[in-house]
């Protein structure tokens, strides 16, 4: 079979309008702008409005990425949403996005790898394209972290933010795109950074303790110091691994886009790698830690600032709960003039139509159920 390369041909981001500064946080917990900025590099973060969900954020980012790629939703074969904050276990966030986009020929699923989710998803999609089973894919990192924070815990609530970022991958026989990836995990560190699922279904026979999976709140729990140490080690090791795999050296890399957790973590990793900080792209100051969304959000800003040119090698490196970590080397192939989406506004009409088609499909199912007179389990009605 001919080798297919998965090229990034579109990118898009969405950040909720509402921003919250460190000073605002100091009014709800015992903290200060100085403490937060010195320890993390964060000044502000975006917080989703009540009507926004992980799926609506993801949709906005994906629609923008498709506009840059100049691709119709019906051309998309695969949608992966990397998230730790889905509204439902099922339907997946990806299925909701599939519906909002009207991507009628796409497979869709969510991927759980915490803050490494974007790098994991990129590799899953790139491999699907490399084997020829998929041609075009959308990879989205989307999070509403504000919904899983304990807003009275100053050690975690100051760190995170909401947002979504997406890339469109397209198969091509031209070498480039996702060139090498390393993915790793270590479940022995599961307790260092966790977000419990809550089961609300009481099991009276088994006793009350079985009603909540042993957890009483689905909020983030973190051992900050241990996570810090883990992160600085794996950023360095995974960048070294992926460069070896791609047969490149640090000098061949134009830009490293790390998961945006904390400026000090990146500075320590850069020192370990003996690489200048100028090679690391950072926007954590404005967004906080947006988990799986942080790398594509940073990519959007890097492109907007002209930090990537055709044939540049860019490294994405992620790390987070699980524990999980991974890195990808991508050969950037987009020329600056191709990066400006055209006719963006009228393209949004297709998403209004997609919502209409979705409503019609639901109505059609109801009508079919009435007309056929079948009961829900598909058995013939009794005569």
- The residues binding ligand COA (CB under 6 A) are 31, 35-36, 39-40, 115, 154-155, 158-159, 222, 224-225, 227-228, 231, 261-262, 289, 320
Q: Quick one: how far is CA 215 from the chain centroid?
A: 25
Sign of torsion over alpha carbons 227, 37, 56, 81: negative
Q: Which residues of 109-124 are buried (b: 16+ CB within 10 A; e: fewer)?
A: bbbebbbbbbbbbbbb
Shortest CB 153 distance to ligand COA, Å: 8
Q: Quick one: 73 or 320, whose CB is closer to ligand COA?
A: 320
Which of 95, 157, 259, 313 is catalytic? The answer is: 259
Residue-by-residue DSSP string for 149-173: --TT-HHHHTTB-EEEEEEEEEEES
> Which 8-state DSSP code applies to residue 380?
P
Q: Quick one: 103 or 231, whose CB is closer to ligand COA?
A: 231
Q: Quick one: 186 or 252, whose CB is closer to ligand COA?
A: 186
**The tokens of 72 are what?**
């119709």
Residue-by-residue DSSP string for 184-214: EE-GGGGGGEE---------TTT-GGGGGTT
Q: Quick one: 47 or 261, whose CB is closer to ligand COA?
A: 261
Those residues with Cβ within 8 angstroms of residue 6's Cβ, 6 or more apart along the chain or in another chain: 125, 126, 129, 130, 137, 169, 170, 171, 177, 178
Which of 115, 136, 157, 283 is catalytic? The answer is: 115
Q: Quick one: 22 or 136, whose CB is closer to ligand COA?
A: 22
Shortest CB 59 distance to ligand COA, Å: 25
Shortest CB 264 distance to ligand COA, Å: 7
What is the distance in angstroms between the CA of the first residue and the CA of the last residue of the chain?
A: 56
Which of 287, 289, 300, 313 is catalytic? The answer is: 289
**The tokens of 215 are what?**
């957890």
Quickly count: other Cβ atoms within 10 Å of residue 215's Cβ. Answer: 14
Is 233 one of the catalytic residues? no
Q: Quick one: 210 or 228, whose CB is closer to ligand COA?
A: 228
**The tokens of 283 are what?**
């926007």
- Find the residue with minimal CB distance to ligand COA: 224
Is 13 one of the catalytic residues? no
The H or E element spanning position 124 is helix 117-130
Shortest CB 260 distance to ligand COA, Å: 9
Q: Which sequence positions are flagged as catalytic?
A: 115, 259, 289
């Amino acid at each position: 079979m001919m080798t297919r390369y998965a090229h990034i041909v579109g990118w898009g981001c969405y950040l909720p309008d509402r921003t919250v500064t460190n000073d605002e946080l100091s009014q709800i917990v015992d903290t200060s702008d100085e403490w937060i900025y010195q320890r993390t590099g964060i000044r502000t973060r975006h917080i989703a409005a009540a009507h926004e969900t992980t799926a609506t954020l993801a949709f906005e980012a994906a629609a923008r990425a498709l506009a840059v790629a100049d691709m119709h939703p019906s051309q998309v074969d695969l949608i992966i949403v990397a998230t730790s904050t889905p509204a439902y276990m099922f339907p997946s966030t990806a299925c909701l996005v599939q519906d909002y986009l009207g991507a009628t020929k796409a497979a869709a699923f969510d991927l759980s790898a915490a803050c490494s989710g974007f790098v994991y998803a990129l590799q899953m999609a790139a491999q699907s394209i490399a084997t020829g089973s998929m041609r075009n894919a959308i990879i989205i990192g989307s999070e509403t972290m504000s919904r899983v924070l304990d807003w009275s815990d100053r050690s975690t609530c100051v760190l995170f933010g909401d947002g979504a970022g997406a890339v469109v991958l397209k198969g091509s026989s031209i070498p480039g795109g996702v060139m090498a990836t390393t993915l790793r995990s270590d479940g022995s560190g599961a307790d260092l950074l966790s977000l419990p699922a809550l089961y609300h279904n009481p099991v009276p026979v088994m006793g009350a303790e079985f009603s909540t999976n042993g957890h009483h709140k689905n909020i983030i729990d973190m051992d900050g110091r241990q996570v810090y140490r883990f992160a600085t080690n794996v950023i360095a090791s995974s960048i070294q691994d992926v460069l070896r795999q791609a047969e490149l050296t640090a000098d061949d890399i134009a830009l490293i886009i790390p998961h945006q957790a904390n400026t000090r973590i990146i500075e320590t990793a850069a020192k370990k790698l003996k690489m200048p900080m100028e090679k690391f792209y950072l926007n954590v100051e404005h967004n906080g830690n947006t988990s799986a969304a942080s790398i594509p959000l940073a990519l959007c800003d890097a492109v907007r600032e002209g930090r990537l040119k055709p044939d540049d090698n860019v490294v994405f490196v992620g790390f987070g709960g699980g524990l999980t970590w991974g890195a990808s080397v991508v050969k950037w192939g987009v020329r600056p003039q191709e990066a400006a989406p055209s006719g963006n506004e009228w393209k949004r009409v297709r998403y209004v139509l997609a919502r209409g088609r979705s409503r019609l499909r639901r109505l059609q199912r109801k009508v079919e159920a009435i007309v056929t007179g079948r009961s829900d389990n598909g058995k013939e009605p009794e005569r």
